[in-house]
Amino acid sequence: MNDQSPNLHVYRSIWISDTHLGTPGANADKLLHFLKHTRSEYLFLVGDIVDGWQLKKRWYWPQKHNDVVQKLLRKARHWTNVVFIPGNHDEAARQYVGMTFGDIKVEAEYIHTTLDGRKLWIVHGDLFDQVIQHARWLAYVGDQAYTFLLWMNHWLNKARIVFHLPYWSLSQYLKLKVKSAVSFISAFEHVMVTETRRRGCDGIVCGHIHKPELRNIDGIIYANDGDWVESLSALVEHHDGRLELIEWQKLMRTSGSLKPSYKYALSQSKEAINILKAGLDQGA
Ligand SMILES: [Mn+2]
């Protein structure tokens, strides 16, 4: 391997998840590009790597997807500790927890200690779907309650007029409080952070909801490495223990080593067509 490549990004650890290989949505070429241009001591595959659910419905396995798997195996064989933590879409692999496949360790969960001594609990994140379903139900009830409160607000303000009090928007208040607080994502984050604290860890690294994020929630690090369907993101640990969320497309575009994606080019040309159309309409 060419260690001197200027395009090689070296980290201590890398986390990726939700690559959904075996589906047309997987960006296997971009992922391969990422794997070729990064190196790390640890590589964590945080679930939904191969989409077994979709493969069962319809077999889809192009060469590129095979190349990704080969690349992962090669990394595991040579210089990287590769740990695979199955998710819900590759839950079939959960029966192999504790085993090693071609130097890739399969674990249900994992605790990684960063170079600066922080303990990170790594898990895909689907374990609490039941709890979150419950939260979704709560959100629905929230909606019903919201309608009721809108009605009540009307009468409440009538009463306020009687008592010469200024109008106060209960609906505005609740819109901010209830709707945002009981959203799916915040419910997910809340559950994960609570569980992390209960386990005595300093942070969590998960995937599952395809929303890259790295922030501190009530003193706990919440890191979601995102996905390789849309965000093309990864979480990395630098050699001083610092964590960073990277978006591969952005990183490559700024360093000029990757052409804009087809999707990006398409959106650009669509925009150009719209501008052109608008111009023609004005001319007509
Ligand atoms: Mn998942």
In a domain, 1, yes or no: no
Residue 236 Cα to ligand 1 middle (Å): 20
C-alpha distances in angstroms, 180 versus 53, 100, 175, 221?
A: 31, 42, 7, 21
Secondary structure (3-state) at 115: coil
pLDDT of residue 44: 98
CA–CA distance, 258 with 264 (Å, rounded to integer): 12
In a domain, 73, yes or no: yes
CA–CA distance, 226 with 247 (Å, rounded to integer): 9
In a domain, 3, yes or no: no
Q: Cα torsion at 25, 234, 127, 188 (round to 10°)?
A: -100
Residue 93 Cα to ligand 1 middle (Å): 13
In a domain, 122, yes or no: yes
Q: With the C-alpha atoms ordered 251, 254, 259, 263, is the resulting torsion angle positive or negative?
A: positive
CA–CA distance, 280 with 228 (Å, rounded to integer): 39
In a domain, 2, yes or no: no
CA–CA distance, 70 with 267 (Å, rounded to integer): 32
Residue 3 Cα to ligand 1 middle (Å): 34
Q: In this structure, which residues have their CB less than 5 angstroms from ion ligand 1?
A: 48, 87-88, 208
pLDDT of residue 133: 58
Residue 234 Cα to ligand 1 middle (Å): 15
Name the token pair of 168.
């106060």
How many CA within 13 A on the CB side of residue 246?
23
Residue 260 Cα to ligand 1 middle (Å): 27
Residue 153 Cα to ligand 1 middle (Å): 40
Specify burial of residue 130 (Cβ count, 10 A radius: 0-12, 13-18, 19+).
exposed
Tell me which residue has tokens 């303000």: 157
Residue 91 Cα to ligand 1 middle (Å): 9
pLDDT of residue 176: 57
CATH at 109: 3.60.21.10
In a domain, 136, yes or no: yes
Helix (H), strand (E) at residue 267: helix 262-283
Residue by residue, pLDDT tens for the chain (284 residues) are 444 455 899 999 999 999 999 999 999 999 999 999 999 999 999 999 999 988 988 999 999 999 999 999 999 999 899 999 999 999 999 999 999 999 999 999 999 999 999 999 999 998 877 666 555 555 555 555 555 666 666 777 777 777 776 666 665 665 555 555 457 777 789 889 999 999 999 999 999 988 899 999 999 999 999 999 989 999 999 999 999 999 998 888 876 554 445 454 555 455 555 554 554 544 43
Single-letter amino acid, residue 69: V
Specify burial of residue 37 (Cβ count, 10 A radius: 0-12, 13-18, 19+).
middle
Which pTM value belongs to this model? 0.74
**Per the structure, how many domains does the chain have?**
1
pLDDT of residue 140: 52
Residue 89 Cα to ligand 1 middle (Å): 6
- Print the domain residue range for 211: 9-283
